[in-house]
């Protein structure tokens, strides 16, 4: 048992407690996987337990494989007989064996999401229900919620209900399940629901598993939902040897059905349970842990524990407040360059944000600096479906011969113009040398081409004509909003009202914001110029496939990961915590705080936190207060001033050298081309420029000089322009005129 020497006292206690129910409350970075795998190895090697009698649930296939590999490495032998896998994979094994008890053939299909959506579509058609009122994704979301709560279709049918929508959802659910059964198919949620149904109805099968397995393990117990909880209870005997591992402070999946009460009530469910706290952290410095402890202590619905470490105290966590989110984007990238020059690899660093839409600004600045990056758990911003859809509309308005753009949006949202119709029009256009849209425009006068969907096509052509007329007078951001409204694209997403559709709306808002920023910086540019700039940007070589790169991801996507350097951005009220959580109950706010705790504990050595007083959302600048979580971090947070924080204080004695904001640092020395010496630098018109001077710029109008410093043989001047924000200019080239000293 030499491997037990590597464990601390609490980990060793968890391993050696082999009988009865055990709750291992494992804080972030406390070695929970190591503890569980050592316990399984101990049972097999020292207690003589056969791997066939051990059942372990994980939440991912990757976690299951890692656990299995670690046990085999400790034992030096195979544990093929051990049942270790996700809830779904374990349930498939049971269903393949007892399928006939449920009326299925052994070769039943398992439907993925696209199969499910198609089945819902057919169900709506069978029941003659409007797909406008009953959105396929919304219906599927409702069915999934019922299944995760362990509620079958019969339990949903209430003959006394007067709610039309709920009544129809119950009918759809029932017919949907019948359709799957007719096709000898189950969806992912069915896998658990059917096994729970089987174990409830068939006592002999339930008894078999309760006595076949002597030891049960559940990883990430805080993330279990009601149906998973029922499954665990049914498989375990009355007095089980059950070890569950989790952290109530890292329960962040209530939105997908996880029930934190499962871990909080473990001692009530199993009165003889032993609770073991793993509080020693092996990942982060003490300064980072102090911050995490302070934030999570504000939650009342939790089991108390406090993370600590034997590692060094480490660098203090820094917080920066910016005037604008664009300034935050730029400065974070500058800090990344600095960390690179201090010896960190790009892959050592991660930018964490609350929503996917926030990645856009960081991606653009990373591209500008030629820094490789990887968007984890999602597509790059400009590769997301909704973003590409809106840009395709703009491309078609700009260029009527763009067949690819037209093919993308002709039936998005649905207009009843199918692929067969599109193919027929395209083939005819190729014969006569016209684009698809040109053929469609002349369809009413065309006697040779007969199309069944002619009226629908004419309606689409009228829509494009309308949008083209509006494009002549509207700004790019306004045109985007008009397209989203007139096409019904936004209405469809709003009516769908799912997590996915809300994320897509946020991404569209961010695209409109990008257009607004572009227009402010390039007021003379056209729609074509804007689209060209995006094409050049999105055509950069894909960096996801490169090993070396800054990691960009949501905090949800970062769970289970760790990085030497972390940038936690967008820490503002109604961003993080989200506006939705603030508008709902205290439980939602506590989950947001747990999410913040998860974000903080991803950092190993350095953590940088930032917020912006102003953030462009859906083309409008929104003022936000710093997140309440910032105040909850207390004095352990080092507040670093930025250019904008000095400006906001309106200090009369601005000293350029005292600015602690991140200077631009090159990766390979002075990689920016130095300006040539220009006689304009010595001109009389600029000799009076100093900090506090009021100046006029040919393009940006009136502004005030907030800093001035030497830049080689030139000088760099930072000016705050009214309504335009901060601009950094080289004095020799800047078209500035002093209007007041």
With contact defined as beta carbons under 8 Å apart, do 220 and 248 qualify? no
364 catalytic? Reply is no
554 catalytic? Reply is no
Tell the residue number behind the tokens 């849209």, with chain if given. Answer: 437
> Cα–Cα distance between 604 and 606 in angstroms, integer?
6
> Which residue among 250, 326, 421, 601 is the active-site one?
250
> Cα–Cα distance between 151 and 261 in angstroms, integer?
18
Eight-state DSSP code of residue 730 = E
> Which residue among 177, 220, 496, 572 is the active-site one?
220
Residue 566 phi/psi, 5° resolution? -125, 135
Kindly provide the b/e burial profile for residues 265-279, where b requires at least 16 CB atoms within 10 angstroms of the residue's own CB. ebeeebeeebebbbb
> Cα–Cα distance between 266 and 268 in angstroms, integer?
5
> Which residue among 147, 504, 602, 615 is the active-site one?
602
> Cα–Cα distance between 548 and 316 in angstroms, integer?
27
User: What is the sign, positive or negative, of the torsion defined by CA atoms of 409, 410, 414, 420?
Assistant: negative
> Which residue among 187, 189, 190, 219 is the active-site one?
219
Residue 256 phi/psi, 5° resolution? -115, 20
CA angle 274, 279, 282 (to 5 degrees): 135
274 catalytic? Reply is no
- The full DSSP string for 506-537 is HHHHHHHHHHHHHHHH-TT--HHHHHHHHHHH
> Cα–Cα distance between 104 and 95 in angstroms, integer?
9
602 catalytic? Reply is yes
> Which residue among 10, 11, 12, 32 is the active-site one?
32
418's enclosing H/E stretch is none
220 catalytic? Reply is yes
CA–chain centroid gap for 245, Å, is 25
With contact defined as beta carbons under 8 Å apart, do 473 and 438 qualify? no
668 catalytic? Reply is no
SS3 state at 723: coil
> Which residue among 33, 145, 338, 482 is the active-site one?
33
With contact defined as beta carbons under 8 Å apart, do 696 and 722 qualify? no
Q: How many CB atoms lie within 10 A of CB 221?
A: 27
Please give the C-alpha separations between residue 697 and each of 326, 399, 703, 729, 741, in angstroms, as whole numbers.
21, 35, 8, 11, 15
Instruction: Retrieve residue 656's tokens.
Output: 């350029």
588's enclosing H/E stretch is helix 586-600
As separate numbers, helices (DSSP H) first and strands (DSSP E) second, the chain gives: 30, 21
Kindly provide the b/e burial profile for residues 352-381, where b requires at least 16 CB atoms within 10 angstroms of the residue's own CB. bbbbbbbbbbbbbbbbebebbbbbeebebb
Longest dimension (CA), the chain: 97
Which residues form the catalytic set?
Answer: 32-33, 219-220, 250, 602
């Amino acid at each position: 048992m030499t491997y037990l020497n590597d464990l601390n006292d609490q980990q060793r206690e968890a391993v050696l407690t082999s009988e009865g129910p055990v709750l291992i409350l494992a804080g972030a970075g406390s070695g929970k996987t190591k503890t569980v795998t050592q316990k399984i190895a101990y049972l097999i090697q020292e207690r003589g337990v056969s791997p066939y009698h051990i059942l372990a649930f994980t939440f991912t296939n990757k976690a299951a494989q890692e656990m299995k590999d670690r046990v085999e490495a400790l034992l030096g032998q195979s544990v093929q007989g051990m049942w270790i896998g996700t809830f779904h994979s374990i349930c498939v094994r049971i269903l393949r064996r007892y399928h006939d008890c449920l009326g299925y053939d052994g070769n039943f299909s398992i439907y993925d999401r696209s199969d499910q959506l198609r089945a819902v579509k057919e169900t709506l058609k069978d029941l003659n229900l409007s797909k406008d009122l009953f959105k396929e994704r919304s219906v599927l979301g409702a069915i999934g919620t019922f299944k995760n709560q362990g509620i079958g279709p019969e339990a949903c049918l209430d003959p006394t209900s007067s709610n039309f929508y709920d009544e129809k959802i119950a009918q759809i659910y029932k017919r949907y399940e019948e359709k799957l059964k007719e096709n000898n198919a189950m969806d992912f949620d069915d896998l658990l629901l059917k096994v729970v149904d089987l174990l409830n109805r068939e006592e002999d099968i339930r008894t078999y598993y309760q006595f076949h397995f002597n030891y049960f393990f559940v990883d990430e117990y805080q993330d279990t939902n009601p149906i998973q909880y029922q499954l665990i209870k049914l498989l375990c005997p009355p007095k089980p040897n059950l070890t569950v591992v989790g952290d109530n402070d890292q329960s962040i999946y209530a939105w997908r059905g996880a029930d934190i009460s499962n871990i909080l009530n473990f001692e009530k469910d199993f009165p003889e349970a032993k609770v073991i706290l793993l509080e020693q952290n092996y990942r982060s410095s003490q300064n980072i842990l102090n911050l995490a402890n302070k934030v999570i202590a504000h939650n009342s619905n939790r089991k108390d524990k406090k993370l600590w470490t034997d590692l060094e105290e480490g660098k203090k966590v820094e917080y920066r407040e910016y005037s604008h989110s664009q300034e935050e984007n730029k400065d974070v990238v500058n800090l990344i360059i600095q960390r690179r020059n201090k010896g960190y690899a790009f892959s050592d660093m991660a930018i964490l944000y609350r929503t996917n839409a926030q990645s856009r600004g960081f991606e653009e600045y990373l591209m500008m600096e030629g820094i490789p990056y990887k968007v984890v758990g999602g597509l790059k911003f400009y590769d997301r479906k909704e973003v590409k859809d809106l840009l395709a509309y703009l491309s078609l308005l700009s260029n009527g011969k763009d067949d690819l753009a037209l093919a993308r949006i002709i039936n998005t949202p649905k207009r009843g113009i199918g692929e067969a119709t599109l193919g027929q029009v395209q083939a005819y256009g190729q014969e006569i040398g016209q684009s698809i849209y040109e053929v469609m425009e002349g369809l009413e006068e065309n006697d040779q081409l007969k199309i069944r969907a002619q009226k629908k096509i004419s309606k689409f052509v009228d829509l494009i004509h309308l949008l083209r007329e509006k494009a002549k007078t509207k700004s790019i951001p306004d045109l985007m909003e008009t397209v989203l409204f007139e096409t019904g694209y936004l209405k469809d997403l709003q009516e769908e009202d799912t997590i996915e559709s809300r994320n897509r709306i946020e991404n569209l808002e961010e695209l409109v914001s990008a257009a607004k920023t572009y227009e402010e910086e390039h007021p003379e540019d056209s729609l074509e110029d804007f689209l060209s700039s995006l094409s050049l940007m999105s055509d950069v070589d894909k960096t996801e496939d490169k090993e070396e790169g800054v990691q960009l991801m949501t905090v949800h996507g970062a769970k289970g990961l760790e990085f030497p350097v972390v940038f936690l951005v967008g820490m503002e009220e109604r961003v993080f915590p989200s506006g939705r959580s603030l508008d709902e109950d205290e439980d939602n706010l506590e989950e947001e705080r747990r999410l913040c705790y998860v974000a903080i504990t991803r950092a190993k050595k350095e953590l940088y936190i930032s917020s912006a007083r102003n953030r462009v959302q859906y083309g409008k600048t929104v003022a936000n207060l710093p997140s309440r979580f910032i105040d909850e971090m207390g004095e352990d947070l080092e507040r670093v001033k930025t250019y904008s924080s000095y400006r906001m204080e309106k200090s009369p004695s601005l000293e350029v050298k005292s600015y602690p904001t991140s200077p631009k640092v090159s990766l390979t020395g002075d990689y920016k081309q130095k300006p040539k010496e220009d006689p304009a630098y010595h001109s009389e018109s600029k000799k009076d420029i100093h900090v506090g001077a009021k100046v006029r710029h040919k393009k940006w109008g009136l502004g005030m000089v907030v800093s001035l410093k030497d830049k080689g043989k030139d000088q760099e001047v930072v000016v705050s322009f009214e309504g335009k924000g901060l601009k950094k200019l080289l004095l020799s080239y800047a078209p500035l005129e002093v209007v007041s000293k």
